[in-house]
Chain A
Amino acid sequence: MSFNLSALAYKNIRRKFFRSMAIAAAVMVVAATLFSVTTVMDSVETSLARGTKRLGADVMVVPAASESKAMASLLAGEPSTYYMDRGIEEKIRKIEGVKKVAGQLYLKTATYKCCSTGDMFIVGFEPDNDFTITPWLSESLKKPIAPREAILGRSIPAYTTGSSFQVFGKVITIIGLLEATGMQFIDNALYMPIDSFKGMVETSDNGTFNIFDRINNEISAILVQTDPEYAPRRVAIFIESRIEGVKAIVSEDVTASVRKQLFTLLKSILSITVILWIMSVLLISVVFSMIVNERQRELGLLRALGAKKRDIFKLIIAEAAVLSMAGGLIGVSLGGLFLYLFRGQVKAALNVPYMWPQPLNLVLLVLICLCASLLTGTLAALYPALKSMRMEPYAAIRGGE
């Protein structure tokens, strides 16, 4: 029959239950905040990276006057329509450093029950030139896309492959779904070949669409894939200098701008978290100093009975580690629950592309937050633990008198 120190650490934690809970709660607050902020940062980062990649284009050419509208579409997913001469597409194709060109035509539907299922952003694309839409289908198409068929973004609920609904008074069948990107501009749109899209408008029973005359020779945006030997920014300068009235938006610049704005905000929150963390470390350190003072005689007694200095150190650090881990686990769980329950509000508040981190990243974030929690308690208990282990046994026993 024997006894081990872990049991003593466990029983010491239980001895002053509310004090132990207060220590765990301090770590919990830090862990919950840290996990929420880092998860949101990672989510935005992942989403931006994926969205940029998903956009498929290095440069997006739009009418110069509509640059802000285009940016709003890209970042906040606000459906916007703008047009320019379709002949620009051919001009861009000839510019140095341009590898592929794909035109897109944007249109918003009206929210009238007579002719449309709802307010929807429609993207007309060129199946023959396309390099931005079909590669991102969650399942490849078995045959070329036909008139009255469409591909749907991931964020439009209630529709799956094979389902149909009305657009411009015509029944459209969904033949494919795009992978989610977190960029609402991409996830919230309906994608159809420009030709069938135009045909639908021309033959619409509702002849009131004022865009009818405009769209035959116009296009909204031209997506450009650059030659790997040319920097997208350089190609963008070529385009703007050779074609009047257009703005060449470099994808990387869009994400960089968002990243800069958002991360400034999140870094402020992270700074507050760091201050919170330092305060927690100090608070827990004070509490552990009190604990060690209270137990001075007991610690002296343990030394008299054969405990080595490192046993005393381990005993105190073990208590701190268990409480920190418990606080960390609860904090990370609460942080995750908060992000899950309020995901809509978080998305709306940030007003930027947002999606959950990849599972591996999520596991990594959980581990980092748990390590930070563990560090909180152990670091806080370090000085009291060192102080008590250095105490001479007799002095410790006398000190408790």
Chain B
Amino acid sequence: MLEITAVRKNYKIGNDIVKAVNNAGFKVEKGDSIMIFGHSGSGKTTLLSIIGGLTRPDSGTVKYGDTDLWSLSDNELSEFRNRRINFIFQFSSLIPTLTVLENILLPTAFNKSGDRNRNFDAKDLLTMVGLKDKFNAYPSQLSGGQQRRAAIARSFINNPEIILADEPTGDLDEETEAEMLALCKSMNVDKGITFIIVTHNTDIAKQCNKHFVMNRGILTPKAMG
């Protein structure tokens, strides 16, 4: 379903050129759960943002089926993200002026195509992540872990084909982390949602079927023992 080929992305810092992503490539099948390890600054997040259509690579292709992501116009790219991809960011990604329920519904604001029926029910999702009594709470009234759970719930709202997660369980305690991983696993298995996860967490690694390591922009497959 997804093929990343020879993707490169350089940044210029002063007079130096930093190779954030250097000739990365791999294939993803529907229902895969892929994990990318790597130190801070190794280029994992940049690669994830290229796959998610957030930053343009210097070269290489990202193909979803027959669609070359980076050949799309900006509007088409926005629509593509809205319908087929979703994100879990490593920062608190809730809009502070919106309630938890409104934050979950945010992607629906950009879907004007009328295929909203495929969306999940926002209240059901919040109930699934244990925030049933927080529909009308504002992010400032939630703990860091609760905010992360709300962000995970939002990533499912548009029933995406693929979720790109950057340290998705970073702020969660062990118990909640296990619950969230179980939820992601069930979405992966039952709904066929593909996950590409950037993390240091070995518990997540155990639940993924493909593993990669990223080091100084170079992506290599990693066998899990």
Q: Tell me, rounded to whole Å, the shortest Cβ–Cβ distance linking A14 to chain B.
A: 7
CB-nearest residue of chain B relative to A15? B97
Given A308, A309, A311, A401, which contacts B91 in the complex, CB threshold below 8 Å?
A401
- B130 at interface, CB cutoff 8 A: no
Expressed in whole angstroms, the Cα–Cα distance for A357 and B110 within the complex equals 47
Q: Tell me, rounded to whole Å, the shortest Cβ–Cβ distance linking A164 to chain B.
A: 70
Q: Secondary structure of the A side of the interface? A: helix
- B59 at interface, CB cutoff 8 A: no
Q: Mark B52-63, 1 if CB is under 8 A from A, else 0.
A: 111110000000
- B78 at interface, CB cutoff 8 A: yes
Q: Tell me, rounded to whole Å, the shortest Cβ–Cβ distance linking B24 to chain A.
A: 16
**Range of interface residues on B (Cβ < 8 Å):** 35 or more
List the interface of chain A (C-beta within 8 A of B).
1-5, 7-8, 11-12, 14-15, 297-298, 300-309, 311, 392-395, 397, 401
Q: Which residues of A contact B87 (CB under 8 A)?
A: 304-305
- B102 at interface, CB cutoff 8 A: yes
Given A8, A11, A12, A303, which contacts B78 in the complex, CB threshold below 8 Å?
A303
Expressed in whole angstroms, the Cα–Cα distance for A89 and B17 within the complex equals 99
Q: Is the CB of A307 within 8 A of B78?
A: yes
- B111 at interface, CB cutoff 8 A: yes
Q: Which residues of A contact B122 (CB under 8 A)?
A: 1
15 contacts between A and B (CB under 8 A): A1-B122, A2-B105, A3-B106, A3-B108, A298-B95, A302-B106, A305-B81, A305-B107, A392-B54, A392-B55, A393-B49, A393-B54, A393-B55, A394-B55, A397-B54
Expressed in whole angstroms, the Cα–Cα distance for A12 and B79 within the complex equals 24
Expressed in whole angstroms, the Cα–Cα distance for A392 and B70 within the complex equals 13
Given A4, A304, A307, A311, which contacts B54 in the complex, CB threshold below 8 Å?
A304
Q: Is the CB of A1 within 8 A of B105?
A: yes
Expressed in whole angstroms, the Cα–Cα distance for A301 and B89 within the complex equals 9
- B221 at interface, CB cutoff 8 A: no
Q: Mark B38-78, 1 if CB is under 8 A from A, else 0.
A: 00000000100100111110000000000000000011001
Q: Which residues of A contact B53 (CB under 8 A)?
A: 393
Q: Which residues of B contact A401 (CB under 8 A)?
A: 91
Q: Mark B95-131, 1 if CB is under 8 A from A, else 0.
A: 1111000100111111100001000011100000000
Q: Is the CB of B54 within 8 A of A309?
A: no
Q: Tell me, rounded to whole Å, the shortest Cβ–Cβ distance linking A385 to chain B.
A: 16
Q: Tell me, rounded to whole Å, the shortest Cβ–Cβ distance linking B164 to chain A.
A: 9
Expressed in whole angstroms, the Cα–Cα distance for A298 and B158 within the complex equals 19
Expressed in whole angstroms, the Cα–Cα distance for A274 and B74 within the complex equals 39
Expressed in whole angstroms, the Cα–Cα distance for A395 and B52 within the complex equals 13
Instruction: Give the residue among A305, A393, A401 with the most B Cβ atoms within 10 A.
Output: A305
Expressed in whole angstroms, the Cα–Cα distance for A2 and B110 within the complex equals 10
Instruction: Give the residue among B83, B107, B122 with the most A Cβ atoms within 10 A.
Output: B107
Q: Is the CB of B93 within 8 A of A301?
A: yes
Q: Tell me, rounded to whole Å, the shortest Cβ–Cβ distance linking A307 to chain B.
A: 5
Q: Is the CB of B89 within 8 A of A306?
A: no
Expressed in whole angstroms, the Cα–Cα distance for A1 and B78 within the complex equals 21
Q: Is the CB of A308 within 8 A of B78?
A: yes
Q: Is the CB of A11 within 8 A of B98?
A: yes
Expressed in whole angstroms, the Cα–Cα distance for A8 and B105 within the complex equals 12
Additional A-B contacts beyond A297-B91, A308-B74, A309-B74 (15; CB < 8 A): A2-B111, A8-B95, A8-B98, A298-B95, A301-B93, A304-B81, A304-B87, A305-B82, A305-B107, A308-B79, A311-B109, A311-B110, A392-B56, A393-B53, A401-B91
